[in-house]
Structure 1
Amino acid sequence: MDTGSILIVGGYGVVGSRIAADLAVDFPGRVVVAGRSQQRADAAAAAIGHGVRGRRVDVGVPSSIAAALDDVAVAVNCIDQPDRALLWAAIERGLAYTDITPHLTDLGRGAAYERIDAAATASGARIVLGAGMVPGISNVMVRALAEVIGGVDTIETSLLLSADDVLGPGSFDYLLQELTMSFDVHVDGADRRVRAFTAPRGVDFPAPLGIRRAYLFPFSDQVLYPRTVGARTVVTRLAINPPRMSRLLALLVSTRATHITARPRIRALLGRLRRGRTGHPDAPYALRVDVIHHGRAVTATLTGAGQAHATATSTAALVRSLADGAIATPGAWMPEQVIAPAPFFHRLSQAGLHVKTSDPEPAI
């Protein structure tokens, strides 16, 4: 078991502070919340208690990263970092690391994933990419379903979120960026280029939500399933509540008006307008994962309130597996490769997140 600090970068944000509070009870004196503001980090640490400390770190400055990692055993990243400087610094030091930021789709291109895996294996680092909900909880659902029916041919993941869910400004900016991009979906063993918020399909979410129109969306877990579980078809979709918001985004894509949101100044302006709203931290969400193998289908679902709570709870559960040595083999992993479903789902259920699995039935 590691005894060093658990550093949470972005630890005074909406999700990061919840992760810190979740872990602090079980790891007193070891949790460190960090960000560019020492004052905000110290304030968040004091509010959480249990010996949590504040620390300053700027992931754009290598010397700041080096100083922040000095006594760290596990690093958790909760902020967007396009160059992955914190990840590579953790690998260089042979640390444990996980990341809730959504930009992993490039790992499916070329040998990007293999380079990270090789470097981590060489240094002894234990890297789990894709904590949170999708990827994250969805990946462990895939593993659980694959164990039920003996394998994976097709994976379809659908997430329903509220437009007013107060997860933080980063997710809103991420959505705007993804609307402007094309991406690959893996169908029958081959990649197909598509655009976000196209090809709508009715998805039957658990009651009382019911059938909602969901659109193709580049969630990061899809790019590595062909490698990690041998899937031949992988599709991920997003629906937004209220439905008119989904229709508006689909209209922007179909009319090519999304080139406006591609401009950083426009996204920044929209982000400021978004932050001016109060939001609803308990807005409902729903996650559905369908797996098909050899003509049999099985489904797992999760419903709840507050995306931030679900993201933080699942990430904290994953961090525990790194901190207590349950994930012991060096390398770069996705959750479906290293997280046992039963204890993970038990940890979620203790926080009010209940994953339900259907009985296998013939695939339609």
Structure 2
Amino acid sequence: MTDQVLIIGGRGRIGSSVARDITSHTQAKITITSRNSAAGIAVSDQLGPQVEFLSLDLADKEGLKQAIAQSNLVIHCAGPFHFRDTTVLQLCIEQGINYLDVSDHPSFTLKALECRAAAEAAGVTAIINTGIFPGISNSMVRQGVEQLDKPERIHLSYLVAGSGGAGVTVMRTTFLGLQKPFKAWIDGKWQEVKPYSDRETVEFPPPYGKSHVYWFDMPEAFTLPDTFPAKTVITKFGSIPDFYNHLTWIAAHWFPKPLMHNKAWIEFLAHVSHFMTDATNRFSGIGVAIRSEVNGLKDSQPASYCSTLVHENTAIASGCGTGSIAQLLLEGKLKKPGVWPVEQALPTDLFEETMQSRGIKIHQEWL
């Protein structure tokens, strides 16, 4: 029988990129959902005959339950995840359906991980934080950790050009991430860090070269310390062109806090930012770069292992990250009942195999 994949929020840039990847690498039938029927039908038509559209509101629990029941795999792409609960995940567990998501906020990750025992008992494999970052980035860290005898420090840096080819939801996510300090694992203890602080220059591969990154609240900031015995985990993010970094820094440090917690204001900033990046995409591009450096010991000597990735389209790269795991689940190559961040579920050999099949090159070197 043909596999049935349900992509919730599949009309958006990320969700449709996931759908496109799955159609390229499997024979699965895909249903994408949205509240906007006209736009959803247009996207499904663009994606081809493997894809159909279903009008669905997440508030319609009965409709959601019925859609999940007709699927072999559910992929949750309806962000931002700051405001999401685990209803979709819980319904998948109740019905024994495997689950993926592109969640990117610690609050949702913590809620999802609380469902681990229930998923394990139901035999459901649920993998969260898939995509590009978090997602592919976490597997790059695992690559590096496995090269060392004792990992001590993990430094992840992300760089996105312009809009990254993503929709306004990603802009919302950025500004929501500036609302409050967060905890980071530094020198073996949790320490409070201000968002978009500690500007650092990082050498990325061409065409980006030396670029600037800042502390940013990401779920891998706590899932990586839970997975690997490192004493420090750093997660930093930056934009191209650099003046966007300065504007984001101003929003994080100068704007009144009540304003940054106002939903209408966040929505205004998101739409203005998306309008601006639409204009600058023409010369900045919409690509992404990731740099993962793991420091520690190898043969009792200090050693550093670095992995880098560059892709010309951030949204497409995110689709590859999630789509590759969907392919492995559908083919029965990956099965791990429970709820897991990607670095705890995806073996390195399968990660490298799926990245190679998608033409995504990860450069690795000892420093």
TM over 0.5: yes
Determine the structure 1 residue equivalent to 2:6.
Answer: 7
Instruction: Give the match's secondary structure for 1:179.
Output: coil
Q: Is the 8 A contact 2:178 2:196 kept in 1?
A: yes
**Residue 104 of structure 1 aligns to which amino acid in structure 2?**
P
Determine the structure 2 residue equivalent to 1:300.
Answer: 307
Determine the structure 2 residue equivalent to 1:89.
Answer: 91
**Residue 358 of structure 1 aligns to which amino acid in structure 2?**
E
Instruction: Give the match's secondary structure for 2:235.
Output: strand
Q: Is the 8 A contact 2:3 2:27 kept in 1?
A: no
Cα separation, 1, equivalents of 2:347 and 2:49: 28
Does residue 348 (structure 1) correspond to residue 355 (structure 2)? The answer is yes
Q: Is the 8 A contact 1:176 1:262 kept in 2?
A: no
Deviation (angstroms), 1:150: 3.0
Does residue 232 (structure 1) correspond to residue 231 (structure 2)? The answer is yes
Q: Is the 8 A contact 1:167 1:308 kept in 2?
A: yes
Q: Is the 8 A contact 1:29 1:50 kept in 2?
A: no
Please list every run of 5 or more consecutive structure 2 residues that lacks an aligned counterpart in the other structure: none
Greater mean deviation of Cα atoms: 152-161 or 43-52: 43-52
Determine the structure 2 residue equivalent to 1:147.
Answer: 146
Q: Is the 8 A contact 2:109 2:128 kept in 1?
A: no
Greater mean deviation of Cα atoms: 243-252 or 324-333: 243-252
Cα pair distance change 1:339/1:115, threshold 3 Å:
same
Q: Is the 8 A contact 2:22 2:28 kept in 1?
A: no
Q: Is the 8 A contact 2:293 2:306 kept in 1?
A: yes
Cα separation, 2, equivalents of 1:165 and 1:215: 18
Instruction: Give the match's secondary structure for 1:153.
Output: strand
Determine the structure 2 residue equivalent to 1:319.
Answer: 326
Deviation (angstroms), 1:349: 3.8
Greater mean deviation of Cα atoms: 99-108 or 332-341: 99-108
Cα separation, 2, equivalents of 1:113 and 1:186: 21
Instruction: Give the match's secondary structure for 2:292.
Output: strand
Does residue 291 (structure 1) correspond to residue 290 (structure 2)? The answer is no
Task: After superposition, give the CA deviation of every residue in 1:15-61 in whole Å (9 maximum; x if it has no partner).
Answer: 21122122124433521111223443333323222432222221122
Q: Is the 8 A contact 2:86 2:112 kept in 1?
A: no
Cα separation, 2, equivalents of 1:29 and 1:157: 34
Determine the structure 1 residue equivalent to 2:222.
Answer: 223
Cα pair distance change 1:195/1:25, threshold 3 Å:
same
Cα separation, 2, equivalents of 1:114 and 1:275: 32
Determine the structure 2 residue equivalent to 1:45.
Answer: 44
Determine the structure 2 residue equivalent to 1:335.
Answer: 342
Q: Is the 8 A contact 1:156 1:291 kept in 2?
A: yes
Deviation (angstroms), 1:352: 3.7
Deviation (angstroms), 1:299: 0.6
Deviation (angstroms), 1:214: 1.2
Determine the structure 1 residue equivalent to 2:158.
Answer: 159
Tell me the TM-score normalised to structure 2 length: 0.90
Cα separation, 2, equivalents of 1:98 and 1:314: 11
Greater mean deviation of Cα atoms: 118-127 or 341-350: 341-350
Cα separation, 2, equivalents of 1:293 and 1:323: 36
Determine the structure 2 residue equivalent to 1:189.
Answer: 188
Deviation (angstroms), 1:139: 0.8
**Residue 31 of structure 2 aligns to which amino acid in structure 1?**
V
Cα separation, 1, equivalents of 2:260 and 2:253: 14
CA RMSD after TM alignment: 2.2
**Residue 127 of structure 2 aligns to which amino acid in structure 1?**
V
Percent identical residues: 23
Instruction: Give the match's secondary structure for 2:203.
Output: strand
Deviation (angstroms), 1:217: 0.4
Deviation (angstroms), 1:200: 1.6
**Residue 353 of structure 1 aligns to which amino acid in structure 2?**
I
Q: Is the 8 A contact 2:163 2:274 kept in 1?
A: no
Which portions of structure 1, spanning 4 or more consecutive aligned residues, are displaced by more than 6 angstroms?
none
**Residue 64 of structure 1 aligns to which amino acid in structure 2?**
G
Please list every run of 5 or more consecutive structure 1 residues that lacks an aligned counterpart in the other structure: none
Q: Is the 8 A contact 1:4 1:71 kept in 2?
A: no
Task: After superposition, give the CA deviation of every residue in 1:206-257 in whole Å (9 maximum; x if it has no partner).
Answer: 2342222211001221211122223221110011111122123223333354
Q: Is the 8 A contact 1:97 1:127 kept in 2?
A: yes
Determine the structure 1 residue equivalent to 2:118.
Answer: 119
Q: Is the 8 A contact 1:56 1:68 kept in 2?
A: no
Instruction: Give the match's secondary structure for 2:260.
Output: coil
